[in-house]
Amino acid sequence: MDEKRQQHLALKGKLLAVTQKNTNLLQELAALKQQEQKIEAEIKDVSTYDQKNVAASAKNKSTVEKKKQLLAVARRQEEELQLLRLEINKLKTKCGHVSVGSLL
């Protein structure tokens, strides 16, 4: 009986650790999503500005460079989001093998 209790506690500990890691990843994902939305808004603002002032933006190379940098950051963040989604799905799969009955 004591051995089963130890196994039970060990499984509960593993489940807690995986759940905490998953929570941390979800929080990180939310933060990255907010950053992505902010960058997309900035890109939209830059694009709108560019459309209104085509002649002025052609003279201003720094605006074009900033837009390129923002697009590159947005692409990298999208890749990070995809990796985080994959990792979350892997964690869900790992957690899926632990049944509630086996923990009690």
Tell if the pTM clears 0.85, that is, is over it.
no
pLDDT digits (tens, 9 = 90+) for 35-93: 989 888 888 877 676 566 666 655 667 777 888 888 898 999 999 888 888 888 888 77
Q: Under 8 Å CB-to-CB from 90, ≥6 apart: which residues? A: none
Domain membership of residue 69 (yes or no) is yes
Domain count, the chain: 1
Tell me the two tokens of residue 75: 């692409």
Domain membership of residue 21 (yes or no) is yes
Domain membership of residue 100 (yes or no) is no
What is the span of the domain harbouring residue 13? Answer: 2-94
End-to-end distance of the chain based on CA atoms, in angstroms?
13
pLDDT digits (tens, 9 = 90+) for 30-51: 998 999 898 888 888 776 765 6
Half-sphere exposure of residue 22, counting CA atoms within 13 Å on the CB side?
15
Domain membership of residue 90 (yes or no) is yes
